[in-house]
Amino acid sequence: MTERSHRGTTRVDDPYDDEPAPVRPALRVVHEPEEIDLAAAEAAAGQFLRALGISTASESLRGTPGRMARAYAELFSPRPFDLTTFPNDEGYDELVLARRIPVRTVCEHHLLPVVGTAHVGYLPGARILGLSKLARVVEHFACRPQVQERLTKQVADWLQTHLEPKGVGVVIEAEHACMTLRGVQAAGSSTLTSTLLGLLRSDARSRGEFLALTGTTP
């Protein structure tokens, strides 16, 4: 992952101040994976299917190896985005929470889908975050083979580092196809993980409010 600063933030001028407010550079977030070789991936996908006894000779399956390669390339390629923040001029100090952010990734042990939702919140410090960026951060870390525990902590730690809020909370609930479609075949089961940092961890009232609003209290 590469993070680059660039002058992408809007300047806000105070009409009563002779000097315009300084522009805070936006943080450009780019994930730079290893070079993708779709031709090699397609050939490997064809070998994989044939090794499992699935012929790709029929008209309907002939293009499947290529579709597999392109699908996984898409799953593993997060979109770049700008982490846009704004001054917390009003001194807002209550919880900001984005609920039910879609999560889709693949389990790094079986490369099977993991699908669910994330609840991401923070207690603002000096700056507030453009709300869509909470979903962007979740997508950014989900676009690679993952385990849910690591994904939850990565989102929380990254926001704590780059936003510097008073607290961060992340809860993810997801269904793992490696549990529901194979092995134990526990259809309908879901996994819940959470990471709480700052006041959302140390302050009982703030922690309780966050967990209640995310629906994760007993």
pLDDT (tens digit per residue) in 152-205: 999 999 999 999 999 999 999 999 998 888 888 888 889 999 999 999 999 999
For residue 176, indicate whether it is catalytic. yes
Q: What is the DSSP letter of 181?
A: T
178 is catalytic: yes
Secondary structure (DSSP) of 52-92: TT----STTTTTHHHHHHHHHHHHT-PPPEEE-EEE-TT--
Q: What is the mean pLDDT of residues 60-67?
A: 96
Predicted confidence band of residue 47 (pLDDT cuts 50, 70, 90): very high
**Would the pLDDT of 4 be above 90?**
no
pLDDT of 52 > 60? The answer is yes
Q: Which of 42, 119, 139, 148 is catalytic?
A: 148
Active site residue 107: yes
8 — pLDDT class (breaks 50, 70, 90): very low
